[in-house]
Amino acid sequence: MRYFTITLGLFLAGALLFIVFLSIVPGLEIRTNELVIVDDHNEVFRLIEKNTPVRIEIANERWGEAVLENPEILFEIWKVIQEAKSYPNRYIPNQDRIEGYIYFRDGSREYFSISDRFQLGEYFLECKEDDLSIAKLHRIFRHTLETKKNLLTMVENTEEIYLFRAEDSFVPDSASMAKITGDAKSELLTYLTLAEKVEESTDLTTLLLEQGVEPLFHLTFYVKDSEEKETPIVLSVLSPEYFTLMDTGFLNRNVIYFKGFLYDYCRNQMKGH
């Protein structure tokens, strides 16, 4: 399916702009200086301002679970929530849905759910159309979920993994595809275990600026969602030292960078294909 390969290339190209941004702005910075009028101010803030969040447990049906405890990020998340607008009795769609619990300093907790709007306890929050604060929250939670540990679990549980060269189309039954099973799958898990998620990297930024986003290999595996639809997760090898991860099951897709040696693994597995 050449359309799939072309689409994947476009998403990876967009990721170049993101990694350059990270190189300019150190760390995970979230700007929340925009002022948003809050409906039902007293009712919402009776919940929001009761005390300080100290921990967020996050869950997603595809990616499993994760915990967010970084005080600086928790503070920025709380700023976004405080600046959002309240809409009672609004439905949270299942598309891209992430949920969990926010734990407070006094030992209490509140349920939350987020997609294109945010549910906290009984209240539903969203922002004006020109404000991306809720989208920022969703990206933070996704970034927290998309860990190496959760990736390893998904790879271990999947039954169909395909490897192919980036210039080839994704056609599962073609001779140009390598199906990863048995010892080859165990070896893949070993390589992924040794990889590390990249938050900032001068070397990676230089690579992307000088060479652009031109993948060498793609590793694709499928995960079923609650509606029994299969959507792929794609690992794309950029160089001997770097590869990316993209989950096409999310409507709003983003690219995660890893440092690892999947290039050597893919080159060995593709011999004879």
Q: Which sequence spans correspond to the domains of the chain? A: 2-25+148-269, 41-145
pLDDT digits (tens, 9 = 90+) for 82-115: 777 776 655 666 678 899 999 988 888 989 999 8
Give the model's pLDDT for residue 168. Answer: 92
Indicate if the pLDDT at residue 218 is higher than 90.
yes
Distance CA 223, CA 25 (A): 34
Quote the radius of gyration of the chain (alpha carbons, Å).
20
Average pLDDT, the chain: 79
Q: What is the distance of C-alpha 78 from the center of its chain?
A: 20
Give the model's pLDDT for residue 107. Answer: 86
Q: What percent of the chain has pLDDT over 90?
A: 39
Give the model's pLDDT for residue 44. Answer: 55
Give the model's pLDDT for residue 87. Answer: 63
Give the model's pLDDT for residue 202. Answer: 85
Task: Supply 193's token pair.
Answer: 């275990």
Give the model's pLDDT for residue 74. Answer: 92
How large is the average pLDDT for residues 133-145?
A: 88
Q: How confident is the model at residue 23 (pLDDT cuts 50, 70, 90)?
A: very low
DSSP states of 74-113 as a string?
HHHHHHHHHHSEE-TT----STT-EEEEEEETTS-EEEEE
Q: How far apart are the first and last CA of the chain?
A: 18
pLDDT digits (tens, 9 = 90+) for 190-208: 999 999 999 878 888 888 8
Q: What is the distance of C-alpha 138 from the center of its chain?
A: 9
How large is the average pLDDT for residues 151-156?
A: 94
Do 250 and 205 form a contact (C-beta atoms < 8 A)? no
How large is the average pLDDT for residues 222-241?
A: 80
Give the model's pLDDT for residue 56. Answer: 96
Indicate if the pLDDT at residue 214 is higher than 60.
yes
Give the model's pLDDT for residue 6. Answer: 46
Residues 6+ apart with CB under 8 A from 259: 195, 196, 198, 201, 204, 241, 242
Pick 31 or 69 by higher pLDDT.
Answer: 69
Q: How confident is the model at residue 273 (pLDDT cuts 50, 70, 90)?
A: confident
DSSP states of 195-246 as a string?
-EE-S--HHHHHHHHHH-S--SEEEEEEEE-TT--EEEEEEEE-SSSEEEEE
The architecture CATH gives domain 2-25+148-269: 2-Layer Sandwich (3.30)
Question: How many other C-beta atoms lie within 10 A of the C-beta of residue 203?
Answer: 12
Give the model's pLDDT for residue 225. Answer: 63
How large is the average pLDDT for residues 103-130?
A: 80
Q: What percent of the chain has pLDDT over 70?
A: 73
Give the model's pLDDT for residue 219. Answer: 96
Task: Supply 194's token pair.
Answer: 């040794």
How large is the average pLDDT for residues 174-182?
A: 92
Q: What is the pTM of this model?
A: 0.74
Do 216 and 206 form a contact (C-beta atoms < 8 A)? no
Residue 68's nearest CA partner among 60, 57, 78, 80 is 57
